[in-house]
Amino acid sequence: MASTVKCSSRDRITIKPDNTQDISLHIEEDASLSLEERLYDFFQPETLEGEIAYWCDTCQNPSRATKTLSYTRNPTILIVHLKRLILWKKIQNHIPFDTALDLEPYMTPGHSPTHDMKLIGIISHQGTKDNGHYTAMTNGEDKWTLYNDAITTQTTTKHIRQTQAYILMYRKTEQSTGTGKSAPIDSPKKNGKPIKGKSESQP
């Protein structure tokens, strides 16, 4: 992820890279926006002024500026934290989400042609802020498994979409090689050719 700040006085642009792979999203009690809608709001430009004005090295004083977040490349793993536990209460709203996530709207133009993510894990919290219980669900080979203490059961995509998610974990998907096969993105290469490992089939 990269943070781009533009000073309104001198039009000076500062870009600061950040390797974070997690996003924390606020949840309003009176809203039921989907995950995609909340991500859209998260990546909207933010105006820095007043008490949070931007210190511009060129102007040498606090200046009004615009801050924008975007991805220059797909994260391998993206962890989305829905902030349900705040102050003295827990927000119980269901946040609609999908098993696939497209990061294209949040990419820096001209970067990373691959931007698809696949849901691989969920942590859910039932109960109140003071008394609650955590469960987890993981996706392996397109089969979902629910972990509830020592009890493990198979579950369905329909069920997980109804879950009151607390944390969602997405993984970067594979991209097509143009040969009908797929290879992991960012696989190691030497002289422009993929390096074969034990996991690759030999001719």
pTM of the model: 0.75
Average pLDDT for residues 102-127, to the nearest whole number?
85
Mention every residue, 6+ apart, whose C-beta is less than 8 A from residue 3.
Answer: 15, 16, 18, 67, 68, 69
- Look at 76 and 17; give whichever has higher pLDDT: 76
pLDDT for residue 203? 32
Judged against a pLDDT cut of 60, whether residue 16 lies above it is answered with yes
pLDDT for residue 112? 64
pLDDT for residue 113? 67
Question: What phi and psi, each to the nearest 5 degrees, are found at residue 39?
Answer: -65, -40
User: What's the sign of the alpha-carbon dihedral 134, 139, 140, 143?
Assistant: positive
**CB neighbours (10 Å) of residue 137?**
22
DSSP labels, 45-93: -EEE-GGG-EEETTTTEEE-EEEEEEBSS--SEEEEEEE-EETTEE---
pLDDT for residue 201? 35
Q: Are β-strands 143-148 and 132-140 bridged in parallel, bridged antiparallel, or unpaired?
A: antiparallel
- Look at 146 and 52; give whichever has higher pLDDT: 146
- Chain centre to alpha carbon of residue 81: 9
Enumerate the β-bridge partners of residue 14: 5
Identify the band that residue 30 occupies on the pLDDT scale cut at 50, 70 and 90. low
Question: Which fold, 20-43+72-174?
Answer: Cathepsin B; Chain A (3.90.70)
Judged against a pLDDT cut of 50, whether residue 188 lies above it is answered with no
pLDDT for residue 98? 93
Average pLDDT for residues 82-95, to the nearest whole number?
85
Q: What is the dihedral of CA 111, 72, 188, 190, to 10 degrees?
A: 50
pLDDT for residue 121? 96
Q: Give dist(CA 50, CA 134) in Å, integer.
A: 41
Query: What residue spans define the domains of the chain?
Result: 20-43+72-174
Identify the band that residue 185 occupies on the pLDDT scale cut at 50, 70 and 90. very low
pLDDT for residue 200? 36
Which pLDDT tens digit goes with each residue over 144-171?
999 999 999 999 999 999 898 999 999 9
Lowest-confidence region among 36-50, 52-66, 152-166 = 52-66
Judged against a pLDDT cut of 60, whether residue 85 lies above it is answered with yes
Average pLDDT for residues 166-181, to the nearest whole number?
68
